[in-house]
Amino acid sequence: MKFVKESRTLIKQNIRDYGMYIALFLIMLTFTITTDGLFISSRNISNLINQTGYIAVLAVGMTLVIVIRHIDLSVGFVAGFLGAIAAIMLTKMGLSVIITIPVILLLGILIGLVNGFLVAKLEIPSFVASLAGMLVFRGALLLVTEGTGTIIINDEFFNAIGNGFIPDIADVGNIHLLTLILGTLAIALYVWSQIRTRANKKKYNFEVTSLGMFILKISFVSVLIACITWILAGYNGLSWTVVVVLIVVALYHFISTKTVLGRHIYAVGGNPEAAKLSGINVKKITFIVFGSMSMLAALSGILYTSRLQSATTTAGTLFELDAIAAAYVGGVSAAGGVGKVTGSIIGALVMASLTSGMNLMGVGISYQYIIRGAVLAAAVIFDVATRKRRK
Amino acid sequence: MIMVEHILEMRNITKEFPGVKALNNVNFKVKRGEIHCLVGENGAGKSTLMKVLSGVYSHGEYTGDVIFNGEVQKFTSVRDSEKAGIAIIYQELALVPEMTVYENIFLGHEIRKGAAIDWNETILQAGEMLKRVKLNVNPAVKIKDLGVGKQQLVEIAKALSKDVKLLILDEPTAALNEDDSENLLKLLKELKAQGITSIMISHKLKEVIAIADTVTVLRDGQTICSLDAKKGEITENVIIKNMVGREIDNIYPKRNFKPSNETVFELKNWSAYDPGLGREILKDINLNVKKGEIVGIAGLMGAGRTELAQSIFGNAAEYQLKGDLIIKGQKKVFKHPDDAIRAGIAYVTEDRKGNGLILIDDIKQNITLANLKSISKNGVINQNEEIKVANEYKASLNIKAPGIEQKVGNLSGGNQQKVSLGKWLFARPDILILDEPTRGIDVGAKYEIYTIMNELVRQGMSIIMISSELPEVLGMSDRIYVVSEGRITGELSIEEATQERIMELATN
């Protein structure tokens, strides 16, 4: 009985988070059934995840932007523009990837600091400032691709970022061995860190979840990682895109939950006045968040350009709205101060799964938009409803 | 309609909020055609009473009867009371700055011709109304281009355009300079001649004495007395006695401890000019605080107390500051609250929900927010240490909550205040500024907070306590400064301080 009670309070406290995972699970299950298992096939899942990469990194940055009560509409064309610059550096200027990528990321940060300046120092509403940025970078993208049209990239190393997979260490038939090993390592690392956290809490004499619940939780997550690993190992293994996204998510999750900077970001979102009176430099936080946003936009541009193996004149169109949708589906609140980086990734996966599944089912593009819109609305309604009930 | 002598009678009005009785059996009568002043300390229930009257608290949310023009009224919204002929003008004016004077006057009851607004008629009538309030401006100028005094007159013109019978003004002269105040009082007398009854809430007793036909004093949610000008009952002494005539009971814990002679904090000729308002909001403030001392800052709302605290705390970028701020003999300049915190100052704000706490965060996150550095290494927070700290403060301040993971927004006022206090104690300050430390919290929690304050000064902290509750100021302070209109109008040792003396200085 105690176990049931504990699980009930756990669910009640975390209904928003759990709801999202359940939604993703249900969506995947539905598509798996309606497509006779095609959806869950290694190849499709691998493709799905790789296609989501460039939106996922944007969603991570957008989460923090929305958390501090702002918005950034410029990210789509910043990604498109910087992708084109990357293409030009690699082709016309003949620079190597090793130089190109850091330079592009740096340019991203610079653009973000300009946005931060407009929003924090000049106090222009971020909606307007970034709308202006969107127009400017759309123009800039056209300007740099005007003469050449689509720029084809032949750099194998660069193209691998969006299309390649991590190499295998040994040939064992259809299974990607290194992916399996990494998956196993990930599970081991997860279990070890959970046990350590629990032990640490016990050392402080804090209340911890019961042993049964603890084992249930780590087994569940371990099985989940194992499943994903198995599915990916069945195709080409881990792609470089997934590796990049995982690193970004891990880094931002760490910053947002474990560091002083993260706490300050959420405090600014929760109550800017109180944050300021607590000695937090609200302007500095705004600069950092916008800087990080545009850096991730640059990364998104790299991922997208690499995936297409070329820079196009329309790259980046509507990326910002996909990222914003992913963040909202992932539980970010427009009122500020609430929203998890991991949630936004799940949000991005939900949206990508819908597109992929409906494509496999042959649903017309018109219905796809309508359904995705409905899901976005439903997620926000669920959010508002659960938040009200908690009061 | 029968013309009754009293245009308004409020009978046995009781209004409760969770935990407090804001109004307790209040009786309030206003004669037709008089200027009736309503006075009382902050929190006496004046505003609540007027909200009952104007329908902000709708019929059923209070008990008792509101009889207006001889009929029992059951207002459920401000619109209802407006229809009956009651207009209320709040201290914060309800005008739209970007709209013109004539648009504002008829906002909400536009003059129509068919489906469209008849602008010509609107402008014409607006001009008439402006004449009645003796305001000589073009009705086509925008509100934002007018000074506060003129804006107030526009508000009155707006009320007149609704055919008002009873005009209520909530501290109308608080934000006005002397000329504008005088002007306004003159206008009230003229309106009285035109047959309009006014109720004025005011803290400025000189004004009250100058214009009131009747004065009603409220205290602690009860009617204390009604004074008649014709009988010569309205004098400053009588009003003050009735406003404060409360016994200081033993809700203030004793402190067997004297502050040292060491001055830890000093302001010298401290002035602040607000370019937005175009006037000095703090003028030549000189004060000092000793180690282990509780210094009370008394004064009425709007006297500049909070501005003083904000300017000390480095949260006054919009003001032009002059004068010296000296901590332990060293001059300091704070550009940002962070500078002040580093120098050992903490500031528990008056508005804990608005700018004190992050309501969507839990107790633990709120308590550690101002001093995360002390529990982190290389920018990474030791979250176990954080839980430990939060639990310690929860225990020592007796914060009543199921756990430190409880969202602060769900706590009662008293417990929120303790979290606020905990947050600033964790920042380990030498000087603690408390702005209305016990506003809106119950007596039990008040006692606890007073006890904590005593313990803090015993440990060597110095406290600057801003409060509009006189008994609190008298019960807790070692020394008292009285602030009025941005100036320190008096410094009193606790021995010479009385409620009457403070009120005299505060209404100066």
Least confident of B154-163, B248-257, B452-461: B248-257
Chain A residues whose beta carbon lies within 8 Å of the beta carbon of residue B354: 273
- Residue A121 in any domain: the answer is yes
* Candidate ranges A212-216, A380-384, B114-118, B385-389; pick with highest mean pLDDT: B385-389
Decide if pLDDT at A390 tops 70.
Answer: no
Residue of A nearest to B351 (CA): A274
Distance, CA of B202 to CA of A283 (rounded, Å): 40
Q: Cβ contact (<8 Å) for B384 and A266?
A: no
**Which pLDDT does position A389 carry in this prediction?**
57
Co-location of A154 and A73 in the same domain? yes
Q: What is the pLDDT of residues B85-103, one digit of tens each?
A: 999 988 777 889 889 999 9
Q: What is the pLDDT of residues A287-296, one digit of tens each?
A: 999 999 999 9
CB of B303 closer than 8 Å to CB of B502: no
Quickly tell me which residue has 């042993």 as its tokens.
A211
**Which pLDDT does position B278 carry in this prediction?**
79
CB-based contact, B360 to chain A, within 8 Å:
yes
The angle, 0 to 180 degrees and rounded to 10, between the axes of the packed helices A156-163 and A97-116 is 60
Distance, CA of B71 to CA of B7 (rounded, Å): 10
Chain A residues whose beta carbon lies within 8 Å of the beta carbon of residue B370: 278-279
Chain A residues whose beta carbon lies within 8 Å of the beta carbon of residue B372: 260, 263-264
CA distance readout (Å), B479 to A2, B117, B334, B465:
57, 60, 26, 10
Residue B265 one-letter amino acid: F
Quickly tell me which residue has 């609540």 as its tokens.
B48
Pair type for strands B431-435 and B462-467: parallel
Query: Greater confidence, A209 or A84?
Result: A84
Co-location of A291 and A369 in the same domain? no
Q: Cβ contact (<8 Å) for B361 and A267?
A: yes
Torsion of CA B206, B210, B214, B217, to 10 degrees: 0
- Residue A99 in any domain: the answer is yes
Overall number of domains in chain A: 2
How many CA atoms are closer than 13 Å to the CA of B279, on its beta-carbon side? 12
Taking the CA of residue A14 and the nearest CA in chain B, the distance in Å comes to 13
CB-based contact, A332 to chain B, within 8 Å:
no
Distance, CA of B35 to CA of B18 (rounded, Å): 33
Chain A residues whose beta carbon lies within 8 Å of the beta carbon of residue B383: 258
- Residue A138 in any domain: the answer is yes
User: Which residues on adjacent β-strands are paired with residue B279?
Assistant: B274
Q: Which of B141, B197, B204, B157 is nearest to B176 (CA)?
A: B204
CB-based contact, A193 to chain B, within 8 Å:
no
Co-location of A348 and A318 in the same domain? no
Domain's final residue, options A324, A348, A381: A324
Co-location of A99 and A140 in the same domain? yes
Tokens standing for residue A374: 């409905």
Taking the CA of residue A154 and the nearest CA in chain B, the distance in Å comes to 42
CB-based contact, B318 to chain A, within 8 Å:
no
- Residue A178 in any domain: the answer is no
Share of chain B above pLDDT 70, in %: 97
> SS3 for A81?
helix
Q: What is the pLDDT of residues B42-74, one digit of tens each?
A: 668 888 899 999 998 988 889 999 999 888 999
Co-location of A16 and A149 in the same domain? no
Query: Greater confidence, A259 or B172?
Result: A259
**Which pLDDT does position A388 carry in this prediction?**
67
CB of A68 closer than 8 Å to CB of A286: yes
CB of B304 closer than 8 Å to CB of B282: yes
- Residue A203 in any domain: the answer is no
| DSSP letters spanning B284-301 | EEEEEEETT-EEEEEE-T
Co-location of A156 and A105 in the same domain? yes
Q: Cβ contact (<8 Å) for A338 and B313?
A: no
Query: Computed over its alpha carbons, how large is the radius of gyration of chain B?
Result: 25
What is the C-alpha end-to-end distance of chain A, expressed in Å?
Answer: 27
Q: What are phi and psi of B411, to 5 degrees?
A: -90, 160
Q: What is the ipTM, given to two decimal places?
A: 0.84
**What band does B20 get if pLDDT is binned at 50, 70 and 90?**
low
CB-based contact, B331 to chain A, within 8 Å:
no
CB of B68 closer than 8 Å to CB of B8: yes
Distance, CA of B281 to CA of B319 (rounded, Å): 9
**Which pLDDT does position B245 carry in this prediction?**
67
Residue B482 one-letter amino acid: V
Co-location of A77 and A124 in the same domain? yes
**What band does B1 get if pLDDT is binned at 50, 70 and 90?**
very low
Q: Cβ contact (<8 Å) for A267 and B383?
A: no
Chain A residues whose beta carbon lies within 8 Å of the beta carbon of residue B337: 276-279
* Candidate ranges A60-74, B32-46, B209-223, B274-288; pick with highest mean pLDDT: A60-74
CB-based contact, B382 to chain A, within 8 Å:
no
Chain A residues whose beta carbon lies within 8 Å of the beta carbon of residue B392: none
Torsion-angle region of A69 (φ positive above 0: left; ψ -120 to 50: alpha; else: beta): left
Chain A residues whose beta carbon lies within 8 Å of the beta carbon of residue B311: none
The mean of the pLDDT values for chain A is 90
CB of A225 closer than 8 Å to CB of A187: yes
Q: What is the mean pLDDT of residues A279-290?
A: 96
Distance, CA of B484 to CA of B203 (rounded, Å): 11
- Residue A24 in any domain: the answer is yes
The mean of the pLDDT values for chain B is 89
Decide if pLDDT at B247 tops 70.
Answer: no
E strand residue ranges, B307-364:
320-327, 330-332, 345-348
Decide if pLDDT at B152 tops 70.
Answer: yes
Co-location of A81 and A151 in the same domain? yes
Torsion of CA B125, B131, B133, B137, to 10 degrees: 90
Q: What are phi and psi of B34, to 5 degrees?
A: -110, 170
Taking the CA of residue A382 and the nearest CA in chain B, the distance in Å comes to 18
Taking the CA of residue B379 and the nearest CA in chain A, the distance in Å comes to 5
CB-based contact, B319 to chain A, within 8 Å:
no
Q: What is the pLDDT of residues A297-339, one digit of tens each?
A: 999 999 999 999 999 999 999 999 999 999 999 989 888 899 9
CA distance readout (Å), A115 to A33, A127, A291, A337:
46, 11, 8, 20
Taking the CA of residue A136 and the nearest CA in chain B, the distance in Å comes to 31
Domain's final residue, options A272, A299, A324: A324
CB-based contact, A260 to chain B, within 8 Å:
yes
Co-location of A36 and A61 in the same domain? no
**Which pLDDT does position B368 carry in this prediction?**
95
Option in A261, A270, A391 nearest B358 (CB): A270
| DSSP letters spanning A218-244 | HHHHHHHHHHHHHHHHTTT--BHHHHH
CB of B252 closer than 8 Å to CB of B475: yes
Q: Cβ contact (<8 Å) for B337 and A277?
A: yes
**What band does A96 get if pLDDT is binned at 50, 70 and 90?**
very high
Domain's final residue, options A300, A324, A348: A324
Distance, CA of A303 to CA of A162 (rounded, Å): 5
- Residue A212 in any domain: the answer is no
**What band does B483 get if pLDDT is binned at 50, 70 and 90?**
very high
Q: What is the pLDDT of residues A181-216, one digit of tens each?
A: 999 999 999 999 889 888 888 887 777 778 888 888
Q: Cβ contact (<8 Å) for B358 and A271?
A: yes
User: In terms of residue numbers, what domain contains A302?
Assistant: 54-164+280-324
Angle at B49 (CA atoms; ends B48, B51), nearest 5 degrees: 65
Co-location of A136 and A86 in the same domain? yes
Decide if pLDDT at B389 tops 90.
Answer: yes
**Which pLDDT does position B149 carry in this prediction?**
84
Q: Domains of chain B, with CATH numbers?
A: 6-244 (3.40.50.300), 263-344+430-506 (3.40.50.300), 359-428 (no CATH)
CB-based contact, A284 to chain B, within 8 Å:
no
**What band does B186 get if pLDDT is binned at 50, 70 and 90?**
very high
How many CA atoms are closer than 13 Å to the CA of A370, on its beta-carbon side? 5
Q: Cβ contact (<8 Å) for B423 and A266?
A: no
- Residue A132 in any domain: the answer is yes
Co-location of A158 and A23 in the same domain? no
Query: Greater confidence, B403 or A132?
Result: A132
Q: Which of B340, B315, B438, B480 is nearest to B19 (CA)?
A: B438
A194 alpha-carbon distance from chain centroid: 23
Taking the CA of residue A211 and the nearest CA in chain B, the distance in Å comes to 19
Decide if pLDDT at B246 tops 60.
Answer: no
Chain B residues whose beta carbon lies within 8 Å of the beta carbon of residue A206: 384, 387
Nearby residues of B120 by Cβ (< 8 Å), 6 or more positions away: none
Q: What is the 3-state secondary structure (H, E, C) of B239-279?
A: HHHHHHCCCCCCCCCCCCCCCCCCEEEEEEEEEEEECCCCE
**Which pLDDT does position A391 carry in this prediction?**
43
Co-location of A386 and A363 in the same domain? yes
Q: What is the pLDDT of residues B299-350, one digit of tens each?
A: 887 788 889 999 999 988 888 999 999 999 999 999 999 999 999 999 999 8
Length of chain B: 508
Torsion of CA B410, B411, B413, B416, to 10 degrees: -110
CB-based contact, A276 to chain B, within 8 Å:
yes
Taking the model in full, what pTM does it have? 0.81
